[in-house]
Amino acid sequence: MQLRIHNEGWVYFVISCLITIIIIPFYTILGIFLAIISAYIYYFFRDPIRAVPIEEVVVSPADGLVTYIGAEKNPLDDDKDQNTYIKVSIFLSVFDVHVNRMPVKGSISSIHYIPGKFLNATLDKSSKENERNIIFAKSNNDNFYIVQIAGLIARRIVSNLKVNQEVEKGGRIGIIKFGSRVDLYLPESYDILITKGQRVIGGETIISNPNDIKKIKNSKLI
């Protein structure tokens, strides 16, 4: 089994391990506690390999619990885009994988970082009030919005993307540190294949499929 963590996690993990090594000879109980913290940091920043469906489907951008599915306008409040989208909200607890993934193969049209509050990410109003990073992408002439939202504990959103970058479906797009939420906006014409309350896996769980779902047989590791 391959053990790997996101690059953002190494500095926390190494510092925690060094402090543990220094403390444990003098304060054993505290050292054990710090060792547990170090293990959790490694666990939190884990970056597992995922089997991404090859077919033209929309996959989940994150691991977590689906807390909302409904019709919404675009998250940028852009008057030039009057389309209605289906918004799928995924809540990531501190025990979920926090590496976010691209739901479709496409091109990044724009990236908008918006400062804000740090409300509980399970609340729907966090989509509008919390600190967030809005990624606007195009795939086969369809618009998609992926919104990384900081939560009650999260204090930093990291995005690895650049404008005009081509990204593969299931490709890593960033990470949100310590509890968060990801909103996916996809065209209203797409059928949703998940339900509220369902747990999803980033890069693997199929959110929507414009084609025949029965044709999906293959996947690739990424």
Q: Mark whether 193 and 85 lie in a shared domain.
A: yes
Q: How many domains does the chain have?
A: 2
pLDDT of residue 120: 61
Q: Mark whether 197 and 150 lie in a shared domain.
A: yes
Cα–Cα distance between 91 and 70 in angstroms, integer? 15
- In tens, the pLDDT along 11-40 reads 888 999 999 999 998 899 999 999 999 998
Q: Label residue 122 exposed, middle or buried (CB < 10 Å: 0-12, 13-18, 19+).
A: middle
**Which of the residues are catalytic?**
180
Cα–Cα distance between 71 and 205 in angstroms, integer? 21
58: its two tokens: 């929309």
pLDDT of residue 221: 81
Query: Is 195 in a helix, a strand, or coil?
Result: coil
Q: Is residue 1 part of a domain?
A: no
Cα–Cα distance between 17 and 31 in angstroms, integer? 10
- In tens, the pLDDT along 100-127 reads 999 999 999 999 998 877 666 666 666 7
CATH number of 156's domain: 2.70.70
Task: Give the closest residue to 192 by CA, choosing from 88, 56, 49.
Answer: 88
pLDDT of residue 122: 63
Residues of the chain with pLDDT under 50: 1, 213-216
Full domain range(s) for residue 20: 7-44
pLDDT of residue 146: 96
Q: Is residue 164 part of a domain?
A: yes
